[in-house]
Structure 1
Amino acid sequence: MERLSGLDSAFLYLETPTQLLHVCALVVLDVSTIPGGYHHETFVAELSERVRAVPNFRRRLFDSTFNLDHPAWVEDPEFDVDRHLHRIAVPAPGGRDELAELCGHLASRKMDRTVPLWEMWVIEGLADGSVALLAKLHHANVDGVTGAGLLAHLCSLTPDAPLPDPDPDARGAGDGSLVDLTVGGLLGFASRPLRMARALPGGVTLLPRWIRRARRGEAMPAPFTAPRTSFNGAITGHRTVAYAQLDLAAVKAVKNAFGVTVNDVVLATVAGALRRYLADRDELPGDPLVAMVPVSVHDVSDRPGTNQFSGMFTQLGTHVDDPAARLSQARDHNMIVKSHNASLGATLLQDWSQFAAPAVFGGAMRAYGSLRLAERHPVVTNLIVSNVPGPPIPLYLLGARVSALHPMGPIFHGIGLNVTVMSLDGKLNVGLVSCRELAPRLWDLADALDPALETLVEAAS
Structure 2
Amino acid sequence: MERLSGLDASFLYLETPAQLMHVCAVMVLDPSSMSEPYSFTTLQQGIDANVHDVPAFTRKIRGVPLGLDHPVWVRDTAFDIERHVHRLALPSPGGYAELMELCAHLASLPLDRSRPLWEMWVIEGYRPVDAADDDPDRVVVFAKMHHATVDGVSGANLVSHLCSLEPDAPPMLLEHSEHPRSPSRGELLGRAVLGTAARPLTLARVLKPSAQVIAKTVSRARQGTAMAAPFSAPRTSFNGTITGHRSIALTNLALDDVRAVKKQTGTTVNDVVLTVAGGALRRYLAERDELPAGSLLATVPVSVRDTTRRETGANKVSALFTKLGTDVDDPVERLHMLAERNRNAKEHHNAISADALQDWAEFAAPRTFGLAVRTYANLRLAERHPVVHNLVISNVPGPPVPVYFMGARIEVLSPLGPVFHGAGLNVTVMSNAGRLHVGVIACRESMPDADALVRHFPVELARLTEQVEAAGSRGSAR
Q: Do they fold alike, i.e. is TM over 0.5? A: yes
Instruction: Decide which of 404, 425, 429 is 2:433's aligned counterpart.
Output: 425
Cα pair 2:85 2:119 within 8 Å, conserved = yes
Instruction: Decide which of 138, 144, 166 is 2:146's aligned counterpart.
Output: 138
Cα pair 2:23 2:146 within 8 Å, conserved = yes
Query: What is the aligned partner in structure 2 of residue 31 from structure 1?
Result: 31
How many angstroms apart in 2 are the aligned matches of 1:409 and 1:453?
22
Query: What is the aligned partner in structure 1 of residue 473 from structure 2?
Result: none
Shift of 1:118: 0.4
Query: What is the aligned partner in structure 1 of residue 475 from structure 2?
Result: none
Shift of 1:161: 1.4
Query: Per-residue displacement from partner, 1:85-115 (whole Å, max 9, x unpaired)?
Result: 1001123321111111101101101111111
How many angstroms apart in 1 are the aligned matches of 2:63 and 2:468?
55
Shift of 1:63: 1.1
* Further displaced range: 139-148 or 298-307: 298-307
Matched, 1:147 2:155: yes
Instruction: Decide which of 191, 197, 210 is 1:203's aligned counterpart.
Output: 210
Instruction: Decide which of 433, 442, 448 is 1:440's aligned counterpart.
Output: 448
Query: What is the aligned partner in structure 2 of residue 248 from structure 1?
Result: 255
Matched, 1:97 2:104: no
Alignment of 1:55-454 (within 5 A): 55-128=55-128, 129-162=137-170, 169-303=176-310, 304-454=312-462
How many angstroms apart in 1 are the aligned matches of 2:52 and 2:171?
12
How many angstroms apart in 2 are the aligned matches of 1:432 and 1:132?
17
SS of residue paired to 2:142: strand
Q: 1:38 to 1:6 in 2, by over 3 A?
A: same
SS of residue paired to 2:161: helix
Query: Per-residue displacement from partner, 1:395-423 (whole Å, max 9, x unpaired)?
Result: 00111000010000000000110001111
Cα pair 1:60 1:113 within 8 Å, conserved = yes
SS of residue paired to 1:377: coil
SS of residue paired to 1:257: helix
SS of residue paired to 1:91: strand
The alignment covers a number of residue pairs equal to: 460
SS of residue paired to 1:101: helix
| Amino acid in structure 1 at the alignment position of 2:126 | L
Query: Per-residue displacement from partner, 1:284-315 (whole Å, max 9, x unpaired)?
Result: 11111110000000111012311000010001
SS of residue paired to 2:104: helix
Shift of 1:456: 1.2
How many angstroms apart in 2 are the aligned matches of 1:219 and 1:91?
52
- Normalised to the residue count of structure 2, the TM-score between the two structures is 0.94
Query: Per-residue displacement from partner, 1:26-50 (whole Å, max 9, x unpaired)?
Result: 0100111111221221111111111
Shift of 1:447: 0.4
| Amino acid in structure 2 at the alignment position of 1:100 | M
Cα pair 1:67 1:186 within 8 Å, conserved = no
| Amino acid in structure 1 at the alignment position of 2:428 | T
| Amino acid in structure 2 at the alignment position of 1:8 | D
- For structure 1, the residue ranges without an aligned partner over 5 or more in a row are none
Query: Per-residue displacement from partner, 1:265-294 (whole Å, max 9, x unpaired)?
Result: 010010010010011011111111110000
Alignment of 1:42-57 (within 5 A): 42-57=42-57
Cα pair 1:62 1:176 within 8 Å, conserved = no
SS of residue paired to 1:97: helix
SS of residue paired to 1:9: helix
- For structure 2, the residue ranges without an aligned partner over 5 or more in a row are 129-136, 470-478
Cα pair 2:64 2:72 within 8 Å, conserved = no
| Amino acid in structure 2 at the alignment position of 1:243 | L
* Further displaced range: 125-134 or 228-237: 125-134
SS of residue paired to 2:126: coil
Shift of 1:168: 8.2
SS of residue paired to 1:90: strand
How many angstroms apart in 2 are the aligned matches of 1:292 and 1:225?
12
SS of residue paired to 1:312: strand
Cα pair 2:160 2:171 within 8 Å, conserved = no
Cα pair 1:254 1:265 within 8 Å, conserved = yes
Cα pair 2:163 2:171 within 8 Å, conserved = no
Shift of 1:207: 3.2
RMSD: 1.3
